[in-house]
């Protein structure tokens, strides 16, 4: 005996209402910290004793605070919020390699670096040069004589940051045209900030004299740079010429 349509509908149980769980609203994103503090880590291994000086962007400590974490076994880890890791030998403080967080260097080509001090400059100055190629492993930091010994010319660099050691004032950041827009300048400045901290020099900063390209680049700078960036006080023409303007005039992404 067949059931009528009404009887059939009555026999089929209604679908159960979905069980919804009450959850709190999504939390507001944490404010971005402008503090950059420095952690010293011990790197254990079979070779010579090595340390890491790690720049960390977080509110865990005040800006510029040096924190000794060598009593802890880091096991290759770094504090949350790290930006740059300068690994060096304990015996002579020679830099073994430098690593930059992926958020900064994700679009950047593999690079190695040369650290130059300008002994003939009237005001003590330093430069960090970026190179591509297989002469040294990516992340290596070498001296100018090592660059020459490897058959590489200083003019082969793809980017450079130059600054005054005592004040930290950045004079020039430049990147070869073909490599612009790939994070080379941001990586260079981040590595330079790690090296200057290891050397005990003043934090890098700008003085407000900027080209349009430089001003646009600094607008996207990491939050940890904010306390060291002066408001734009002078507009300088964009120039790539050898004798072009300085004073952070050639800041190029």
> Has residue 253 got a pLDDT over 50?
no
State pLDDT tens for residues 70-96.
988 777 789 999 999 999 999 999 999
Q: What would the mean pLDDT of 174-187 be, rounded to a whole number?
A: 92
So what's the pLDDT on residue 121? 74
Query: What separation in angstroms does the CA of 246 have from each of 18, 21, 63, 163, 200?
Result: 66, 61, 28, 11, 25
So what's the pLDDT on residue 199? 95
The token pair that represents 108 in the structure block: 């950047």
State pLDDT tens for residues 1-17.
455 555 555 555 655 55
Q: What would the mean pLDDT of 43-63 be, rounded to a whole number?
A: 91
> Has residue 155 got a pLDDT over 90?
yes
Q: Give CA–CA dist 139/123, Å, rounded.
A: 28
So what's the pLDDT on residue 250? 38
Q: Give CA–CA dist 220/205, Å, rounded.
A: 15
Between 165 and 119, the more confident residue is 165
- Determine contact, residues 142/114, Cβ cutoff 8 Å: yes
Q: Which of 58-62, 210-214, 232-236, 242-246 has the highest mean pLDDT?
A: 58-62
Question: Residue ranges of the domains in the chain?
Answer: 36-235
Query: What separation in angstroms does the CA of 47 have from each of 51, 85, 141, 152?
Result: 12, 19, 19, 29
153 pLDDT band, cuts 50/70/90, is very high
What percent of the chain has pLDDT above 90?
A: 56
So what's the pLDDT on residue 8? 53
So what's the pLDDT on residue 241? 40
Q: Give CA–CA dist 198/96, Å, rounded.
A: 13
Provide the mean pLDDT of the chain.
83
Between 238 and 84, the more confident residue is 84
């Amino acid at each position: 005996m067949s059931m009528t349509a009404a009887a059939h509908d009555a026999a089929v149980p209604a679908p159960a209402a979905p069980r919804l769980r009450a959850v709190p609203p999504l939390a507001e994103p944490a404010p971005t910290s402008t503090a950059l503090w420095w952690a010293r880590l011990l790197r254990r291994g079979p070779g010579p004793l090595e340390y890491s000086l790690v720049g960390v962007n977080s509110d865990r400590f005040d800006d510029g605070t040096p924190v000794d974490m060598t009593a802890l076994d880091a096991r290759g880890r770094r504090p949350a919020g790290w930006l740059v890791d300068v690994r060096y030998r304990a015996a002579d403080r020679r830099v073994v390699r430098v690593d930059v967080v992926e958020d900064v260097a994700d679009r950047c080509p593999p690079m190695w670096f040369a650290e130059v001090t300008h002994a003939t400059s009237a005001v003590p100055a330093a430069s960090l040069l970026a190179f591509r190629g297989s002469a040294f492993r990516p992340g290596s930091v070498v001296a100018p004589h090592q660059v020459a010994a490897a058959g590489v010319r200083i003019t082969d660099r793809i980017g450079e940051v130059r600054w005054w050691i005592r004040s930290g004032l950045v004079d020039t950041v430049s990147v070869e045209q073909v490599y612009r827009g790939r994070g080379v300048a941001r990586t260079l400045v981040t590595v330079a900030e790690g090296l200057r901290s290891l050397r005990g020099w003043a934090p890098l900063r700008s003085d407000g004299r900027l080209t349009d390209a430089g001003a646009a680049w600094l607008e996207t700078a990491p939050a940890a740079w904010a306390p060291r960036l002066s408001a734009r006080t002078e507009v300088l023409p964009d120039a790539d010429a050898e004798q072009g303007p300085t004073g952070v005039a050639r800041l190029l992404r």
